[in-house]
Structure 1
Amino acid sequence: MSSLFPTYGRWDVAITEGRGSRVKDKNGKEYLDFISGIAVTNLGHRHEKVKEAISEQLEKVWHTSNLFQNDLQEETAEILCSHSAGDAAFFCNSGAEANEAAIKLARKHTKKEKIITFKQSFHGRTFATMAATGQEKVREGYGSMLSSFQYFEYNDTERLKSLKDDSLAAIMLEVVQGEGGVRPADLEFLQEAEKACKRNGALLIVDEVQTGIGRTGSLFAYQEAGLDPDIITAAKGLGSGFPVGAMLGKKELAKSFGPGSHGTTFGGNMLAMAAAKATLETVLAEGFLEEVKEKGSYLLTELKKELDGLDQVEEIRGKGLMAGIACSEKAMPMIEKLREAGLLVLPAGEKVIRLLPPLTVSKEEIGEAVQMIKNVLAKSEVEV
């Protein structure tokens, strides 16, 4: 009997070793990893620069608390802010914590409570972020939620155009809904959300927990839509596997988050900042993001080409190195067969196969993965 709470439907695989885009389990079986810890190990497993930065910091000091000055926080914040719409950063430990901070800041700054999010969104599992999430299954069993969230249909541009609400504190959205089925937002929808915020004296919060840190080919996905958000949240890929999250905000919001207004014991500790700084320097190095865009285009093109004609494939969608294969049948049986074949992928809802390869993946590895997907799906159709 396990001593762990059964909060996860764990697969019968124990990963013991990883390098780049490949991992091995405890039985020695090798896999091509197109999960990346759910968009976390964006630089692949055991990236040398990040490993060196953490190792170097391990020999200095691990933790001092946020009562002290922290040069690594300052340096990492400057990198994030100089490459985004943010002017100030708050560091925490996860995406849920970053979104929790964003919700608190929006309500405190505007002195209003209502926040619009979208159906099929996912923003975390703390009480506020669970309430913000537009999926009933995440909220089941926990009783009354925070009542200040209202869920609109994703990509419903017309509803945003007619939105008039003086009680609105913020609109919170994902540029691509990850857990919600790898669904990219329409450009007009994103732009209309920003206009609706300005019209109603509300803040625009962009949740970049899964799409940020290069996943879509830009440091943040909102940048490709020309948005100017008030608050941006990030985590997952920020630390290359080391737990770290960040909330970025406009300078005028800083006065609402003064001493004592919010905090975290471990957020922004020295090891996390060493990992985050090294990760950002790698992602922002000349040519890196251009390569991600090129490989992302290649992945989607190859999927569409090779899976064309398969009856159970309804749509290929995504952005950058974030792809979803929408199927007419449940995805898990095919995901299990792909795992048996040596490819790790995951679901995004009941009928979507989600691919999140490392940003450092090669075109050869992409081609290898696409062929495995084609073979498994084609064989599945024959068996049916």
Structure 2
Amino acid sequence: MSLFNVYPLFDITPVKATDVFVYDENGTEYLDLYGGHAVISIGHSHPKYVKAISDQVAKMGFYSNSIKNPLQTELAKKLVSVSGCKNYELFLCNSGAEANENALKLASFHNQKHKVIAFKNGFHGRTSAAVAATDNAKIVAPLNAQQEVEILELGDLESLENALQKNDCCAVIVEFIQGVGGLDQSTAEFYESADALCKKYNTCFIADEVQSGFGRSGEFFAFQKFNVTPDIISIAKGMGNGFPIGGILIHPSIKASFGLLGTTFGGNHLASVACTTVLEVIEEEKLMDNVKVISAYFLEKAKNIPQIKNCKGRGLMLGLEFNEPVADLRKRLIFNQHIFTGSAKNPNLLRILPPLTLQKGHVDAFFDALKTELK
């Protein structure tokens, strides 16, 4: 049986990874500045993480959510202490798309409305409502297009209020730093006004922190730079450091009831231990402080590359924008310099999403390699 051919693949086969490095079957070392789509937060094969998962799987890997799982409770407590999001409740699932799907569904249950407002260049996943709220018509099937979604310009408060005034919107969903779309951000005025408008018109304000959460922006959540109180916060990517896990944080104004949401694998024993360990390492190794230091260093180094037109993003969720497409540059960085970077919807943008353990020496190596390939 062959694999369903939906991924264009680079001819590289990783077999091992440690911290910020990946090694292929030939023993070639690659500097990982992409982290597998911002998934690797505490570094590949972190010893504490490996031990925690190994110890847990030796005891119990899985049982259903119909029994008590103290590991979920422990995770929820640790998430509150590290994130600072007091009073929120946690529902666990398996991925970012699932997180956003459950967020949108819960919003609709809560206020009994059906329409969703999202923003241009936003990406929220590939499941039914999440993909309908994603600004990419190529991945929206006719089945998904039945969802009623209005996609607005990011930052357009007038259009947002005009849409909310119709009183049929269950949710406004926004990435505070856009990921796949190309690292664009709006202003404090927009985010704070959008939050206020949602509260005025009984609409759930959803912060999509799937990619930007868990310290990647320098704050635990990217929205925490602003004076907003999301009704629902979606999380995934870096929360498991490679183990599949997602979730939503739910404001206490939204009430639970039996059967409202559900999942088979969400919050299983291994996933819970993986995420709790990630949170412990983020705290113990002061990785959010490291993000801020390394981000400032990276952006300063970028100023010395005249071909870079613009630097986008925040923390270690960054984009280097050039005056021309970067697809060939990205390939040369991989095959000539052995450095992984990422692409975006913006063809001129090189995405930088490394493990949060990145050090200045790694940044120096990247810019030396970049200069070589730009000659």
* TM-score normalised by L of structure 2: 0.95
Once the two structures are superposed, the pairs formed by residues 112-131 of structure 1 within 5 Å of their partners are 112-131=113-132
| Kept after mapping to 1: 8 A contact 2:132/2:144 | no
How has the CA–CA distance of structure 1 residues 103 and 86 changed in structure 2, closer, same or farther, with 3 Å as cutoff?
farther
Contact 1:122 1:179 in 2 (8 A): yes
1:150 alignment counterpart? 150
Whole-Å separation in 1 of the counterparts to 2:144 and 2:22 = 42
- Which letter does structure 1 place at the counterpart of 2:52? A
Q: 1:284 Cα shift?
A: 2.6
* Partner SS state of residue 356, structure 2: coil
Contact 1:41 1:237 in 2 (8 A): yes
CA contact (8 A) 1:17 1:24 kept: yes
1:382 corresponds to: none
Instruction: Report sequence identity in percent.
Output: 38
Matches within 5 A, 1:214-253: 214-253=215-254
- Contact 1:115/1:149 (CA < 8 Å) preserved in 2? yes
2:366 to 364, 369, 375: 369
Q: How far apart, CA to CA, are the structure 1 residues paired with 2:191 and 2:291?
A: 23
Q: Match of 1:73?
A: 72
Report the 3-state secondary structure (helix = DSSP H, G, I; strand = E; otherwise coil) of the residue aligned with 1:297.
helix
1:161 to partner: Cα distance:
5.4
1:133 counterpart residue number? 134
* Letter of the 2:149 counterpart: F
Change (3 A) 1:143 1:246: closer
User: Cα–Cα, structure 1 residues 293 and 98, in superposed 2: closer, same or farther, change >3 Å?
Assistant: same
Contact 1:110–1:169, Cα closer than 8 Å, also in 2: yes
Q: Secondary structure at the match of 1:169?
A: strand
Alpha-carbon contact 2:128-2:144 (below 8 Å) kept: no
Provide closer, same or farther for how the CA distance between residues 157 and 327 of structure 1 changes in structure 2, counting only shifts above 3 A.
farther
Query: How big is each residue's C-alpha offset from its partner over 1:247-273, in whole Å with a ceiling of 9 and x where there is no partner?
Result: 110122133xx2222211111000000
**Residue pair 1:85, 1:228 contacting (<8 A) in 2 also:** no
**Residues 1-384 of structure 1: pairs in structure 2 closer than 5 A:** 3-82=2-81, 83-84=84-85, 87-139=88-140, 141-143=141-143, 145-160=145-160, 164-255=165-256, 258-285=257-284, 287-303=286-302, 305-307=303-305, 309-310=306-307, 313-340=308-335, 341-349=337-345, 350-376=347-373, 378-379=374-375
Letter in 1 for 2:316: L
Q: Secondary structure at the match of 2:91?
A: strand
Could you say what secondary structure the match of 1:346 adopts? coil
Provide the C-alpha distance between the structure 1 equivalents of 2:21 and 2:329, rounded to a whole number of angstroms: 20
Query: Aligned partner of 1:373: which letter?
Result: L
For the residues of structure 2 that align with 1:144 and 1:101, how far apart are their CA atoms? 15
Residues 143, 105 of structure 1: alpha-carbon distance in 2 compared, 3 angstrom cutoff: closer
One-letter amino acid of the counterpart of residue 340, structure 2: L
| C-alpha distance in structure 2 between counterparts of 1:370 and 1:157, whole Å | 39
Check conservation: 1:81, 1:248, Cα contact below 8 A.
no
Q: 1:144 to 1:206 in 2, by over 3 A?
A: closer
Report the count of equivalent residues: 370
| Higher mean displacement: 129-138 or 108-117 | 129-138
Distance 2:142 2:299 in 1: 39
Q: Report the 3-state secondary structure (helix = DSSP H, G, I; strand = E; otherwise coil) of the residue aligned with 1:171.
A: strand
Is the contact between residue 131 and residue 144 of structure 2 (CA under 8 Å) also seen in structure 1? Answer: no
Give, in angstroms, the shift of residue 160 of structure 1: 3.4
The CA distance in 2 between the partners of 1:117 and 1:352, in whole Å, is 22
State how far apart, in whole Å, the 1-side matches of 2:38 and 2:230 are: 22
- Paired letter, 1:338: L
Hey, what's the Cα distance between the residues in 1 that align with 2:290 and 2:16?
26
Compare 60-69 and 186-195 and name the one that shifted more: 186-195
Using structure 1 for the length normalisation, give the TM-score.
0.93
Q: Distance in 1 between matches of 2:255 and 2:368?
A: 50
Deviation of 1:225 (Å): 1.4
Consecutive unaligned residues of structure 1, counting only runs of 5 or more, are: 380-384
Contact kept in structure 2, 1:184 and 1:319, CA below 8 Å: no
- Taking structure 1 as reference, are residues 196 and 267 closer, same or farther at Cα in structure 2, changes over 3 Å only? same
| Pairwise CA distance, 1:233 | 0.5
